[in-house]
């Protein structure tokens, strides 16, 4: 079976080799946690980037390169040029080694850069020092990024080693920890864990083929998107993207981890776990775009039925014995006025339309409604976002723990999981091209009974509640949600970062104050 899987992927690679041409490609992903992604969100809401770009992430270098500064002059708060100089390569022929950027108007202040008529290469290095958590712990990170582009091919590899001071066998509290394998080193008094991201992308007139391992987001809801939020650890995937006029088909195959990194180390033979998905996007007009997705999580074997493109997963899963976890979603994104967009996402694990408005336990779905408005605070760009999400009990769960909607023990979709509700209002602004600030306030509620955890087995439910399962099961826990962030670029290579996040419904408090060196 594994041989057949590699044969199919090899056939697709050969197909792209035969039909490929010198189409340019610059599909490097932009970091989702960086303010540059918030800036692209602002420009999409303002109408400067096609609406379809907001339906999936991460955003790309190509989208950043397409931006034109809205304002010129020294008093402008538009950070477009600064972000382009920070991320985009210099395509003029050159070779630079160990060069620092003396000002923000030049590119390629990196360890090494090279460009000629066909190849563009960059090696980038970052160091981070700071304090994280409450009470605070010393933390840091070492990161190396290598990027190369030659014609239609883009390639990147990024390795990060995170460290956090601790005493004994504690668990990392950093916001960057995604349940990877970690270890305490008593000789230095630090917890260490690693994260690797990489990608190979080939762009042709027929479409785009990507082999990658980096966070994916499907849906306009940002880091709270119900289907794929991009907040879990990166997982390896194979993606084939086929555009045709107003249509685009994404075919995704991925491998997941059934348990956390440390738990996997204790198992002689971890259970295989896979994800298969297909997503059809339609943009009938520049002001409206929608997408339909089928996704299945399955384990214990490699199933060739899910490897067939445009095969209906919900029917196939039924024919295979109803033993896998199928989800479907519908996204709709519309421009409601020149600088404002509204969106709706519905993810359903199971539905009975005759009981849709009743509290039947099998109505397992997530509904999200949102609005973004690109305006100004005096002379500063301001992005206003409103969002409301409800997640019914038992959504994402399964009778087989391997088939839960998780990777390394963390939810792939809506971060609050099943039996929850979240309403937020967010303000994001750029007080100058070097200073970004964000404030999110909201109200969260979370159930505590069976059906409120993605790990709950729905066969263990109480049958007496089948016809009357409330949104918040058990004894609900509710409270305020707050997220405050600021990023201040002190010089072309030094940056100060601050975050404070509190979710009373989940009992979470997170914070950090970091100084980052980026070269």
The tens digit of pLDDT for each residue in 200-238 reads: 999 988 899 999 999 999 999 999 999 999 999 999 999
SS3 category, 178: coil
Q: How far is the C-alpha of 482 from the C-alpha of 440, rounded, in Å? A: 6
Map out the domains of the chain with their CATH numbers.
2-518 (2.40.160.130)
Phi, psi for 146 (deg, rounded to 5) = -120, 130
Distances (CA, A) of 40 to 53, 178, 314, 434: 9, 25, 35, 16
CA-CA-CA-CA torsion for 29, 31, 32, 38, nearest 10 degrees? -100
Give whole-number Cα distances, 489 to 31, 35, 492, in Å.
Answer: 16, 11, 7
pLDDT above 90: percentage of residues in the chain: 68
Give mean pLDDT, residues 344-373. 91
Per DSSP (E only), the strands in 151-259 are 153-165, 182-185, 190-204, 207-213, 217-218, 236-244, 247-256
Give the pLDDT band of residue 378 (cuts 50, 70, 90).
confident
Q: Is the pLDDT of residue 344 over 60?
A: yes
- Phi and psi at 63, nearest 5°, equal -65, -40
Q: Could you tell me where the beta strands, DSSP code E, fall in 378-460?
A: 380-391, 406-407, 410-411, 420-432, 435-446
State residue 72's pLDDT score. Answer: 44
The top-scoring range by mean pLDDT among 77-81, 271-275, 498-502 is: 498-502
What's the mean pLDDT when you consider all of the chain? 89
Q: Which of 95, 60, 356, 330 is nearest to 208 (CA)?
A: 60
**Mean pLDDT to the nearest integer, 465-484:** 95
Residue with tokens 């989800």: 327
pLDDT at 2: 45
Tell me, what's the pLDDT at 358? 87
In which residue are the tokens 């019914």 written?
A: 392
Cα torsion at 9, 402, 330, 341 (round to 10°)?
-100
Q: What CA–CA distance (Å, rounded) separates 294 from 374?
A: 32
pLDDT at 26 over 70: no
What token pair was written down for 416? 């609050």
pLDDT value at position 322?
85
73 pLDDT tier (thresholds 50, 70, 90): very low
Q: Which residues fall within 8 angstroms of residue 463, CB to CB, at 6 or more apart?
A: none
Residue 25 confidence (pLDDT) above 70: no
Contact, 255 vs 297, CB < 8 A? no
For residue 309, the model assigns a pLDDT of: 78
Token pair, residue 358, equals 């009743």
**pLDDT tens digits along 34-45:** 999 999 999 999
Question: Does residue 18 have a pLDDT over 60?
Answer: no
Task: For 75-106, give one letter per residue: b (16+ CB within 10 A) or e.
Answer: ebbbbbbbbbbbbbbbeeeeebeeeebeebee
Q: Express each pLDDT in 270-291 by its tens digit.
A: 889 999 999 999 999 999 999 9
Q: What is the pLDDT of residue 357?
A: 79
DSSP letter, residue 355: G
Find the mean pLDDT for residues 41-59. 94
As a whole number of angstroms, the distance between CA 457 and CA 460 comes to 6
pLDDT value of residue 76: 65
Among 74-78, 250-254, 298-302, the range scoring the smallest mean pLDDT is 74-78
Region at 230 (left for phi over 0; alpha for psi -120 to 50; beta for the rest): left
Q: What is the dihedral of CA 390, 392, 394, 396, to 10 degrees?
A: -40
- Rounded CA-CA distance 59/87 in Å is 12
Q: Among residues 292, 387, 385, 290, which one has the least CA distance to residue 334?
A: 290
166-495-43 Cα angle (round to 5) = 115
**Portion of the chain with pLDDT greater than 70, in percent:** 92
E strand or H helix that includes residue 19: helix 2-19
């Amino acid at each position: 079976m594994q041989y057949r899987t590699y044969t199919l992927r090899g056939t697709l690679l050969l197909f792209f080799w035969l039909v490929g041409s010198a189409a340019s490609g610059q599909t490097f992903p932009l970091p989702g946690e960086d303010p540059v992604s918030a800036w692209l969100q602002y420009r999409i809401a303002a109408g400067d980037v096609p609406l379809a770009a907001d339906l999936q992430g991460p955003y790309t270098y190509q989208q950043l390169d397409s931006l034109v500064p809205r304002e010129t002059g020294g008093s402008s708060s538009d950070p477009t040029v600064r972000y382009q100089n920070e991320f985009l390569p210099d395509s003029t022929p050159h070779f630079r080694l160990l060069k620092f950027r003396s000002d923000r108007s030049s590119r390629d202040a990196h360890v090494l850069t090279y460009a000629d008529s066909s190849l563009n290469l960059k090696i980038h290095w970052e160091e981070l020092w700071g304090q994280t958590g409450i009470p605070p712990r010393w933390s840091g990170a070492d990161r190396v990024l290598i990027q190369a582009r030659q014609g239609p091919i883009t390639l990147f590899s990024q390795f990060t080693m995170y460290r956090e001071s601790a005493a004994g066998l504690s668990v990392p509290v950093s916001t960057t920890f995604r349940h990877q394998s970690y270890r305490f080193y008593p000789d230095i008094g630090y917890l260490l864990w690693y994260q690797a991201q990489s990608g190979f992308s080939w762009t042709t007139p027929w479409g785009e083929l990507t082999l990658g391992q980096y966070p994916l987001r499907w849906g306009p809801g940002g880091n709270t998107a119900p289907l794929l939020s991009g907040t879990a650890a990166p997982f390896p995937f194979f993606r084939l993207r086929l555009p045709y006029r107003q249509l685009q088909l994404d075919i995704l195959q991925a491998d997941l981890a059934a348990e956390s990194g440390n738990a996997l180390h204790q198992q002689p033979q971890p259970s295989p776990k896979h994800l298969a998905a297909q997503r059809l996007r339609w943009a009938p007009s520049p002001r409206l775009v929608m997408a339909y997705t089928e996704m299945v999580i399955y384990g214990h074997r490699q199933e060739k039925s899910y490897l067939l493109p445009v095969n209906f997963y919900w029917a196939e899963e039924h024919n295979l014995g109803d033993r896998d976890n199928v989800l479907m979603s519908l996204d709709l994104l519309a421009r409601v006025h020149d600088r404002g967009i509204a969106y709706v996402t519905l993810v359903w694990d199971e539905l009975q339309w005759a009981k849709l408005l009743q509290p039947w336990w099998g109505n397992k779905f997530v509904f999200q409604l949102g609005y973004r408005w690109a305006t100004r605070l005096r002379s500063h760009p301001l992005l206003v976002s409103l969002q409301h999400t409800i997640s019914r009990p038992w959504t994402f769960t399964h009778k087989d723990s391997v088939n839960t909607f998780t990777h390394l023990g963390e939810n792939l979709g809506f971060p609050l999981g099943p039996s929850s509700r979240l309403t937020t209002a967010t303000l994001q602004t750029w007080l100058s091209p070097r200073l970004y600030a964000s404030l999110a306030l909201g109200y969260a509620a979370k159930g505590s009974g069976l059906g409120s955890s993605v790990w709950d087995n729905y066969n263990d439910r109480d049958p007496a509640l089948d016809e009357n399962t409330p949104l918040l099961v058990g004894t609900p826990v509710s409270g305020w949600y707050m997220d405050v962030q600021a990023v201040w670029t002190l010089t072309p290579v030094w940056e100060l970062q601050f975050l404070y996040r509190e979710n009373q419904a989940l009992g979470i408090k997170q914070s950090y104050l970091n100084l980052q060196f980026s070269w």
